[in-house]
Structure 1
Amino acid sequence: MNSLWLILVSIVVFFIAYVTYGSWLAKQWGIDETRETPAHTQNDGVDYMPAKSPVLLGHHFASIAGAGPIVGPIAAAVFGWLPVMLWIIIGGIFFGGVQDYSSIFASIRHDGKSIGEIIEVNIGKKGKKLFGIFAWLTLLLVIAAFVNIVANTFVSVPAAASSSVMFIMLAILFGFFVYRRGMPLGISSIIGVVLLFGCIVLGVKFPLVLSKQVWIYILLGYIFVASVTPVWILLQPRDYLNSFLLYAMLIGAVLGIVIYRPTIELPAVTSFNVGGKLLFPMLFVTVACGAISGFHSLVGSGTSSKQLDSEADAKIVGYGSMLIECVLAVIAIITAAYVTKDKFAELLGAGGPINVFSDGIGVFMSKFGIPYATGKSFVALAISAFALTSLDTGTRLGRFIFQEMIDQKEGESENILANRYVATGITVVLGGWLGSGSWTKIWPIFGSANQLLAVLALIAVAVWLKKSGKNYKMFIIPMIFMLAVTVFALILLIKQNLASENYILVALPALLLLFALILTKDAYKVFTSNDKEHIV
């Protein structure tokens, strides 16, 4: 089969979904662009701060994407390209897009508070505590998995490492001149993009070669610093510039596929059982960020909602970002599906899924004149930049949630654990400790926990919408399906890790499953009651 049809059909379907279903959701929920958002009413210059929609779109997309929509589809390619494609399209439109859009909207209607706070208001204080613990543990898995993935990428593509270091310095300068010297965004963007591609060229000329362990230590130090600084210093400017990397990479990949038209070598469907891994439920937890991801709800309600300039921007930032991510996931499965089985195994063994993806896009770009080595380094830099964004955003969210769990009352003496530096340090150290092994061991548990987190986010918003007298029926099928998937997947993972006597990876999913089931039970009681408070 020609891969051109896969990419073109998926883009058209996603565009139609954004225009029709996205607009229908806005109407059902009562999006009001005249209503002031928390970014204006609670502007503190650190976490709450209005951002123009292109800037926030770049931040939100870079934060939610990371390496997830690449690692997941490529890892799930063992089941064949057709199940992966169907899940990306159906999941992205009706599951992930709904969750992402609604999480931002629910948060701005709760003063920019996180999903945990929304649960406390609409379900109860115990629910908030359970969700907080669950979300924090999931974010530790995010840090563990992505630190591993970025370190592997820097080792396999040293040019991406040096480019990333220069890119971080560029982003800090960009933020300083835009936010503190009032430099126009248009002029700054042109200069920033030119310098950004200059970083790529210099990275190819001066690759930075370090061991994986050294990179892990450097990355842990970086995410600590990046996660405690005001958003204007690094978070907003870097993510905005990241968006240009994304757009260039997507355009380059699509253009390369159109010119090259690679033939799909991977079978449409391989087997339901591949090496002991069952298509159901493992496909639906392996492909997380490209279809639905609970991490997105934490980003949307944790950072993006605090920067939303207008309620109308929630559609492009929430629903739009998810569908763009789906396009990235489709491209990822094509990079795995067009090579032979032996070549795929070779690329995977040399540097993981990111290496498979970078090699594929490098080949596609070479068809219209971009040197293969430059194209591969560029893609590795882009994905590393997204993964770094997910890392420091995840760490910042971990700090928020950890501080919420401390639940310090006004007037009480300061609890040292509620200090943002201490809360961030604890999150970084524990996440780094979990990530000391291989990403392949962490990813299945991260995927399962991540999808179960999505169930809890969907439940939280659905309960609020029901109590507000708004339409919540678009949540019912996603909630039920994802709950069945994740419970089954976690039980299988517990059984597998018991057999291999890996007791840490037994205890963690067991704990997550217990917390989630208790919270689901409490939410169900509230959900099935006839209480309506008309919270708007």
Structure 2
Amino acid sequence: TVACGAVSGFHSLVSSGTSSKTLDKEQDSVFVGYGSMCVESVLGVVSLVIACAAASNGHVASGTPFQIFSGAVAGFFTMFGLSQTAAACIMTMCVSALALTTLDAVGRIGRMSFQELFSVDEGQEMNTIQKICVNKYFATVITLFFGFLLCLGGYMNIWPLFGSANQLLSAMVLICLTVFLKTTGRKSFMLYVPMVVMFCVTMTALVESAYALIIKIASGNWSFLIEGLQFVLAIALMVLAISIVYHCGKELVHADNKTAHHDAQPTATH
């Protein structure tokens, strides 16, 4: 949550289809986008305070993050005369509503991302496999199936990869934005530093995670639904990220060459 306050790949995907509908004009995106991240940072700090308040003798409270958050906030509301049971029920419903809406958005974004992996450029013909994979029903089933597999492994067993996946996605978004701005003749230099930093940090984290998983698998004490699935996801994330960087890099080089060629052309005089 704290990381999302700085930069978030998930938020950047959601904003393309959700936040854009709440904006009256393009200039509003600066206020709304920056303001949202500020609020997210405050939420991160509040969550840390709540987790610390719920701790006992230096040990984190037992239960899932949702249970810890709901229980601690419910204890705060009891100071205003609300019973612990009623407060816990209200907070659990609020957190559950947040989770359900998030899962809805994730499901749709996952489905569209899967379809885009097999889409072709305008004018090109799709083969049979591509036609099947871009079908919205088939793509939805595949997306939900892998989500179901992750649930079997347990929430806390897939959580270690979430931070890397989310922040790596933000690096990919910055790269795509750089290409967009460059190819449309706009300034993009302000994205270079955060783009490189986010990519290097998240790729390093994924490599370290994959190495730790290889050690665990080599020891023989591992499960496919936990360590095996994490390793597959880590490798898939790295391969997809490198593929995006390669294609975006080609577009950037092409844009630079096009700009240099245009600048080298003699100007017309009257």
Distance 1:496 1:531, change over 3 A: same
SS in 2 for 1:436: helix
What displacement does 1:413 show?
9.7
Query: Which residue does the alignment assign to 1:509?
Result: 234
| Aligned partner (choices 70, 75, 81) of residue 363 of structure 1 | 75
Structure 1 alignment gaps of length 5 or more: 1-68, 70-87, 89-287
Separation in 2 of the partners of 1:492 and 1:518?
Answer: 20
Equivalences for 1:49-448 in 2 at 5 Å? 69=1, 88=2, 288-305=3-20, 308-342=23-57, 344-345=59-60, 347=61, 349=62, 351-407=63-119, 415-448=131-164
What displacement does 1:358 show?
1.4
| 1:256-287 Cα deviation digits (max 9, x unpaired) | xxxxxxxxxxxxxxxxxxxxxxxxxxxxxxxx
TM-score normalised by L of structure 2: 0.78
Structure 2 alignment gaps of length 5 or more: 218-226, 261-270
Separation in 1 of the partners of 2:196 and 2:104?
Answer: 32
Separation in 1 of the partners of 2:70 and 2:92?
Answer: 6
The amino acid of 2:25's aligned partner reads S
SS in 2 for 1:338: helix
What displacement does 1:525 show?
4.5
What displacement does 1:374 show?
2.3
What displacement does 1:309 show?
4.6
Separation in 2 of the partners of 1:433 and 1:336?
Answer: 29
Equivalences for 1:456-535 in 2 at 5 Å? 456-501=172-217, 502-527=227-252, 529-532=256-259
| 1:186-210 Cα deviation digits (max 9, x unpaired) | xxxxxxxxxxxxxxxxxxxxxxxxx
Distance 1:444 1:531, change over 3 A: farther
Report if the CA contact (8 A) 2:54-2:68 is conserved: no
Separation in 1 of the partners of 2:127 and 2:35?
Answer: 44
Distance 1:391 1:319, change over 3 A: same
Bigger radius of gyration among the two = 2
SS in 1 for 2:153: coil
What displacement does 1:442 show?
0.6
Separation in 2 of the partners of 1:299 and 1:314?
Answer: 13
Report if the CA contact (8 A) 2:179-2:252 is conserved: yes
Aligned residues: 245
The amino acid of 2:134's aligned partner reads A
Distance 1:440 1:291, change over 3 A: farther
Report if the CA contact (8 A) 2:161-2:234 is conserved: yes
Separation in 2 of the partners of 1:468 and 1:365?
Answer: 52
Separation in 2 of the partners of 1:298 and 1:522?
Answer: 19
SS in 2 for 1:470: coil
Distance 1:370 1:498, change over 3 A: same
Distance 1:381 1:480, change over 3 A: same
What displacement does 1:489 show?
0.7
The amino acid of 2:147's aligned partner reads G
Distance 1:487 1:335, change over 3 A: same
Separation in 2 of the partners of 1:449 and 1:326?
Answer: 19
| 1:42-74 Cα deviation digits (max 9, x unpaired) | xxxxxxxxxxxxxxxxxxxxxxxxxxx3xxxxx
SS in 2 for 1:503: helix
Report if the CA contact (8 A) 1:308-1:314 is conserved: yes
The amino acid of 1:331's aligned partner reads V
What displacement does 1:530 show?
4.8
**RCO higher in 1 or 2 (8 Å CA, sep ≥ 6)?**
1
Query: Which residue does the alignment assign to 1:221?
Result: none
What displacement does 1:436 show?
0.8
| 1:343-389 Cα deviation digits (max 9, x unpaired) | 743x2x3x211222112212222233333332222222212111111
**Aligned-CA RMSD value:** 2.8
TM-score normalised by L of structure 1: 0.42
Report if the CA contact (8 A) 1:466-1:527 is conserved: yes
Separation in 2 of the partners of 1:364 and 1:531?
Answer: 61
Report if the CA contact (8 A) 1:467-1:531 is conserved: no
Separation in 1 of the partners of 2:103 and 2:166?
Answer: 15
Identity across the alignment (%): 38
The amino acid of 2:156's aligned partner reads T
Report if the CA contact (8 A) 1:468-1:532 is conserved: no
